[in-house]
Structure 1
Amino acid sequence: MNKALVLVCLFCFNLSFAQEIIEDEKPKVEKDTILNKTRIKADGVAAVVGEFIVLESDLDREIAQLKAQGADLEGVTRCELFGSLLESKLYAHQAIQDSIIVNELYIQSLVDQQIEGILAQTNGDMNGLLNFYKKDSEEALREEMYEINKNAYLAKEMQDKVIRDIEITPEEVRTFFNEIPEEEIPTFGTELKLAQIVVIPEVTEEAKQAVIDRLNGFKKDVEENGASFTTKALFYSEDSGSKNNGGLLPTMNRKRPRMVKEFRDVAFNLQEGEISEPFETDFGFHIIYLEKVRGQEYEVRHILLRPELTEDAIQKAKDEIENVREKIINGLVTFADAAREFSDEKETKFEGGQLTNPTTQDFNFELTRMEPELYSQVQDLKDDEISPVIQDEDRINRIKFKIMTVTDRIDDHKADFARDYLKIKDLALQDKQVKAIEVWQRETIQNTYIKINGEYRSCDFQSNWLKE
């Protein structure tokens, strides 16, 4: 992890509230067991940013967590880490002033996932977790982690607000590129354009009906026998993201819809306490329990089941794509035409199977930045070569079969304005956003009460935290 990434990761921190001016505390010499250096350490409050106190122990804990996650802190100074922590506090403080709303249900769900994840790695050692956070109960730990995540959420929302409406014109992109010194023009790695044809096994009507009947059984048991919807979701739902929370989803808002349309249409037409009839989305079949309505916000639980695939359906799909591959190799049809005729993947078939890079939104995939799984599937392919049949899966399909090809390859090269316009545009936009954040920070620091204590007064901060 490089220095910039370490500083970006430094969002978790302990929180308290204060309005009063904090007097400097007498420093003491102490051995830093994290960075193995002797340093002067202020005992207690290290800084105040608006309503938030930054404790010396906050930074110690952050350093310990970064090292535990394998971060390389070589070359990263304590002052730089402290400055990043101050930035997070500043964002969170201003978010409160701007009345940014916190999604409390989402934060609580995040805490649950974090604790479960840590316990899974430590064989359920809750006592060890409590000792690390210096807490005497799980409830106290959850309260602190809730505050940590809430303010990290506020900080992220505030930063997004600062840059949300920033746009860049083609002329600004050209100016940005022309101002890059010749020796600093970036080099882009080898890029591939990829295409694929996907065949998905067909689900039988009998399998669909079996799932519908099972969901109706859950619904009936809850409504007529008083069974727990939460428990059924915990045991039976196939949505790995929500089943451990009893099917509880992030709060749905009518004004900011995030779920697929079919899901929203059902959820927003339920009455509080009502369970829906089974319905289908691309992910499978669901029933929804509307737990609570608060204005435009809906708290829902759901159970997801996906129909079973028969062996016959799986074999039929595999035979079909093998046949398509053979036709392409024998020159009976082009890859692009075969994709348009045979592929079951809506996102790519009408583009002749051409894959879109989700990061850049163009057709180019930089070889060194590919997802590992995709890289393993195409790394040995020559231009226009057809891959063997690959068995794959995704969030929607447990099994799918595909063949892939490389339609174009661009070797390592210095950035070219015409060919690499979209990448250069992204760099120019990022540069403009960074400058906007710098202006925002400079102005907000001047208008916010900030107090830096002890050894940190001697830090050479990039931002004017000392207001000199």
Structure 2
Amino acid sequence: MLLNRINFKFLIKSALLVGFISFNFSHAQEIINDDVVEVEQTKDTIVNKTRIKADGVAAVVGDFIILESDLDREIAQLKAQGADLKDVTRCELFGSLLESKLYAHQAIQDSIVVNELYIKSRTEQQIQGILAQTKGDMQGLLDFYKKDSEQALRDEMYEINKNGYLAQEMRTKVIGDIEVTPEEVRTFFNDIPVDERPIFGTELKLAQIVIIPEVTEESKQAVIDKLKGFKKDVEENGSSFTTKVLFYTEDSASKSTGGKYTLNRNQPRMVKEFRDVAFSLQEGEISEPFETDFGYHIILLEKIRGQEYDVRHILIRPELTQEAIQEAKDEIDKVRAKIVDGTLTFAEAAREFSDEKETKYEGGQMTNPVTQDFNFELTRMEPELYAQIQDLKDGEISEVIQDEDRVNRIKFKILTVTDRIDDHEADFAKDYLKIKELALQDKQVDAIAKWQKETIAETYVKVNGVYKDCDFKSNWLKK
């Protein structure tokens, strides 16, 4: 089926591109003959002879070699990420590996600029993340990845990250500007045989009302005073900012790296308030406490490198009092009672009482973050949300649910199902956005196929060993 072809190609490519940027670095990069050799292995006083298969070159694409172990490593990485590979052949995965190297090779030929500071920052974050899990055991890390020095590990991590970056940038260059017109969407849909049109699963429209406990001014001031104390201790007593991050920050995403982030003036990252403060500092300066939706921060600006700013920060969220929590719970109980007894509709109650700005003015209607419409397909719904609505009948109001998110450690909500669309064959009018996305993917697949055909013809490609017998979609064997 056409849709199966589209989904298979894109899912495998996406998964492999993610895998290439991973950091499993135990494989060698030198060219070794693909044969079986007898090696004498010595460890302490034990000597024995073992028959082993050398790590042979499976393929060469331009300036890149692919070792037999590279594919084994990528398969292991995909399985570790939870990918279901039972219906995917080794040849298909190897073809995707060839594609990645072709992207990276052509990116170099096209002089695509590598953001070296980004790659270095990513590499450093990876190292610090691993060390956080191994309690700072660098030697153990080197032994595990079979590296002689920390620099050798960093160099290989850098190269793998760089090549993954090049491959992604090249792929974006090939398909980034592709769009589909309404007429192309209609033609795509009409060209699908009636008996092959996709079946879309049951979809729900959901609405929610959220009540968030109010933080007291006393709690806010307590956090501000604590952060001011940290700032004073570092500036006047020489205390370590990084140590305070490890002990006190509530930003779990950056705690393992000592609160470090690299910001770029030309590439928005972090919320506006955070960026504005960071870009106003001088090197070595610590900001005054400031507020974002996530809580209160102080920032230390460590280094300015052109447009790049290396910062560390401490995040602390004000404590919630039991009184504030109980007041929020009591309020949402009252709101639910008014909806159940008919005093207010769910939409009216949402507009009047909900604290969630994103849904409040839509009568509580929730937007699917993936599709950007109001429909949630049951089989693709986040497990936590599914558990909260799975037993709801249309129009029924859920019991009060205590929940949390990245911003709020406690919030209360009620949910309802405002509409239900059962399993159905794709309908052009009802499912236009989904069909448009499939049409776009199909057009992108065609663009990639054309680009690959032209680029393979112009690039040195040699496939070795058992992979010569693969039936590749692209002409890697140049027959």
Deviation at 1:148, TM superposition (A): 2.3
TM-score by length of 1: 0.88
Q: Which residue of 2 aligns with 1:51?
A: 63
Deviation at 1:25, TM superposition (A): 4.7
Matched, 1:111 2:126: yes
| 8 Å contact from structure 2 (residues 205, 375) kept in 1 | yes
Deviation at 1:405, TM superposition (A): 0.4
- Secondary structure of 2:300 counterpart: strand
Query: What percent identity do the matched residue pairs reach?
Result: 73
Matches within 5 A, 1:138-217: 140-217=152-229
Distance 1:150 1:369 in 2: 33
**Alignment partner of 2:409 out of 373, 392, 398:** 398
Distance 1:305 1:28 in 2: 59
Relative to structure 1, is the Cα distance of residues 55 and 64 closer, same or farther in structure 2, using a 3 angstrom cutoff?
A: same
| 8 Å contact from structure 2 (residues 335, 349) kept in 1 | yes
Distance 2:216 2:351 in 1: 24
Deviation at 1:117, TM superposition (A): 8.1
| 8 Å contact from structure 1 (residues 42, 56) kept in 2 | no
Matches within 5 A, 1:69-108: 71-96=83-108, 97-102=111-116, 103-108=118-123
Relative to structure 1, is the Cα distance of residues 142 and 56 closer, same or farther in structure 2, using a 3 angstrom cutoff?
A: same
Distance 2:139 2:71 in 1: 23
Q: Which residue of 2 aligns with 1:362?
A: 373
Q: Which residue of 2 aligns with 1:37?
A: none
Deviation at 1:59, TM superposition (A): 1.8
| 8 Å contact from structure 1 (residues 195, 407) kept in 2 | yes
**Alignment partner of 1:284 out of 285, 288, 295:** 295
Encode CA deviations 1:371-422: one digit per residue, 9 max, x unaligned: 0000000011111111000000000000000011000011111011011111
2:215 partner letter: V
Distance 2:407 2:103 in 1: 37
**Alignment partner of 2:243 out of 227, 231, 235:** 231
Distance 1:226 1:311 in 2: 37
Q: Which residue of 2 aligns with 1:245?
A: 257
- Give the root-mean-square deviation of aligned CA atoms: 2.8
2:405 partner letter: D
1:45 partner letter: V
Deviation at 1:101, TM superposition (A): 2.3
Distance 1:357 1:161 in 2: 28
- Secondary structure of 2:433 counterpart: helix
Deviation at 1:64, TM superposition (A): 3.6
Count of residue correspondences: 450
* Structure 1 alignment gaps of length 5 or more: 31-40
Distance 2:452 2:310 in 1: 36
Q: Which residue of 2 aligns with 1:261?
A: 272
| 8 Å contact from structure 2 (residues 58, 464) kept in 1 | yes
* Structure 2 alignment gaps of length 5 or more: 1-6, 39-52
Question: Which has the higher mean CA deviation after the structures are superposed, 165-174 or 155-164?
Answer: 155-164
Distance 1:153 1:393 in 2: 34
1:320 partner letter: E
Q: Which residue of 2 aligns with 1:295?
A: 306
Deviation at 1:118, TM superposition (A): 6.9
| 8 Å contact from structure 1 (residues 42, 454) kept in 2 | no
| 8 Å contact from structure 1 (residues 445, 464) kept in 2 | yes
**Alignment partner of 2:74 out of 62, 68, 78:** 62
2:269 partner letter: R
Distance 2:130 2:209 in 1: 41
Question: Which has the higher mean CA deviation after the structures are superposed, 92-101 or 202-211?
Answer: 92-101
Relative to structure 1, is the Cα distance of residues 413 and 325 closer, same or farther in structure 2, using a 3 angstrom cutoff?
A: same
Relative to structure 1, is the Cα distance of residues 66 and 266 closer, same or farther in structure 2, using a 3 angstrom cutoff?
A: closer
Encode CA deviations 1:267-314: one digit per residue, 9 max, x unaligned: 111112211111001011111111111222211111111000000000
Distance 2:82 2:404 in 1: 30
- Secondary structure of 1:298 counterpart: strand
Matched, 1:435 2:446: yes
Q: Which residue of 1 aligns with 2:341?
A: 330
Question: Which has the higher mean CA deviation after the structures are superposed, 192-201 or 42-51?
Answer: 42-51
| 8 Å contact from structure 1 (residues 42, 453) kept in 2 | no
- Secondary structure of 1:356 counterpart: coil
| 8 Å contact from structure 1 (residues 230, 247) kept in 2 | yes
Matched, 1:372 2:386: no
Encode CA deviations 1:89-114: one digit per residue, 9 max, x unaligned: 12222333322424124422452366
2:127 partner letter: D
Deviation at 1:256, TM superposition (A): 1.8
Distance 1:212 1:396 in 2: 18
Q: Which residue of 2 aligns with 1:35?
A: none
Question: Which has the higher mean CA deviation after the structures are superposed, 138-147 or 310-319?
Answer: 138-147
Relative to structure 1, is the Cα distance of residues 190 and 71 closer, same or farther in structure 2, using a 3 angstrom cutoff?
A: closer
Distance 2:145 2:166 in 1: 22
| 8 Å contact from structure 1 (residues 3, 73) kept in 2 | no
TM-score by length of 2: 0.86
1:311 partner letter: Q
Distance 1:394 1:437 in 2: 39
| 8 Å contact from structure 2 (residues 210, 412) kept in 1 | yes
